[in-house]
Amino acid sequence: GENVEQHPSTLSVQEGDSAVIKCTYSDSASNYFPWYKQELGKRPQLIIDIRSNVGEKKDQRIAVTLNKTAKHFSLHITETQPEDSAVYFCAAVWFTGTASKLTFGTGTRLQVTL
């Protein structure tokens, strides 16, 4: 089955610096890769996603890159701000038409310090 590894588990950066979180997946059939942000006590919410036919996607300070050959994808946050402090989860999804597999990474706690 699919296995998604996420690193690092915790990350501390200074405000204004960049943060990078990496995920690797095992099943080459996975073709949808979302990232979720979970603030303390809240539900996870999508921040960006990428499909397997795209190598990179950007949305303001957030970008995601995908390397299908190496089976890894990364979240990049530039010019970090205190409100970026949260837990971030990557996920990998495949769908055959009759079955689906959605697997999350174990999460990265990002702390942005002043």
Partner 1 sequence: EAQVTQNPRYLITVTGKKLTVTCSQNMNHEYMSWYRQDPGLGLRQIYYSMNVEVTDKGDVPEGYKVSRKEKRNFPLILESPSPNQTSLYFCASSLSRGGQSPLHFGNGTRLTVT
Binding site for partner 1 (CB under 8 A): 1, 6, 9, 31-32, 34, 36, 43-46, 49, 51, 89, 93-97, 99-100, 102-107
Q: How far is the CB of 23 from partner 1 (least distance, A)?
A: 11
Nearer to partner 1, 19 or 105 (CB): 105
Q: How far is the CB of 14 from partner 1 (least distance, A)?
A: 26
| Residue 58: Cβ within 10 Å count | 12
Nearer to partner 1, 37 or 84 (CB): 37
Q: How far is the CB of 33 from partner 1 (least distance, A)?
A: 10
Q: What angle do CA 94, 99, 105 make, to 5 degrees?
A: 40
The number of C-alpha atoms within 13 Å of 96 and in the hemisphere containing its C-beta is 7
Nearest to 85 by CA among 23, 5, 12, 20: 12
Nearest to 77 by CA among 40, 35, 32: 35
Nearer to partner 1, 6 or 80 (CB): 6
